[in-house]
Amino acid sequence: MPRTFALWGALSGFVAVLAGAFGAHALRARLPSDLLAAFETSARYQMYHALALFVVAWAVTQWPTQLIRLSGWLFIAGTALFSGSLYVLALTGTTWWGAVTPVGGVLLLGGWLTLALGVWRR
C-alpha cells in the first residue's frame, strides 16, 4: 500500500508541474484572468495533495490503519474531482464544472481529517 500511494503522489506531482508550466506558458495569453486563476489554483492544490500522498505512504508504514489508508484514497479522489473540475472549467469555460469542485474539496478535507484521526488513534 505505501508503494501505491507514493506512485500516485509521484504521478500527481508530475501532472501538477506539467499543468503549472502549461498554464504559465501556453495559457497566460489565451485565458481570461479568472479562468487562469482557477487553472493555477488547480495545479497548486494538486501539488499539495501529491505531497500529502507521500506523507500517507510513509504514515501507512508507521501506523497501518484503515483510516490512514482511507485518507490516501480520499486525497486521490478529491484531487481528481477538485483539480480535474477546475482544469476542465478553465479550459472549456463550462461553468457547471464549478459545482463539482466543492465535492472534491470535501473529499480533500476528509483526507486530512482521516489522516489526523488515523495518526491520533495509534
Could you tell me the residue ranges of all domains in the chain? 2-121
Answer whether residue 122 shows pLDDT above 80: no
54-59: long-range pairs with CB below 8 Å, 24+: 54/5, 54/6, 54/9, 55/115, 56/5, 56/9, 56/115, 57/2, 57/3, 57/4, 57/5, 57/6, 57/9, 58/2, 59/115, 59/118, 59/119
**pTM for this entry:** 0.94
Q: What digits encode the pLDDT tens for the residues 20-41?
A: 999 889 888 888 999 999 999 9
Q: What digits encode the pLDDT tens for the residues 46-90?
A: 999 999 999 999 999 999 999 999 999 999 999 999 999 999 999
φ and ψ at residue 32, rounded to 5 degrees: -65, 155
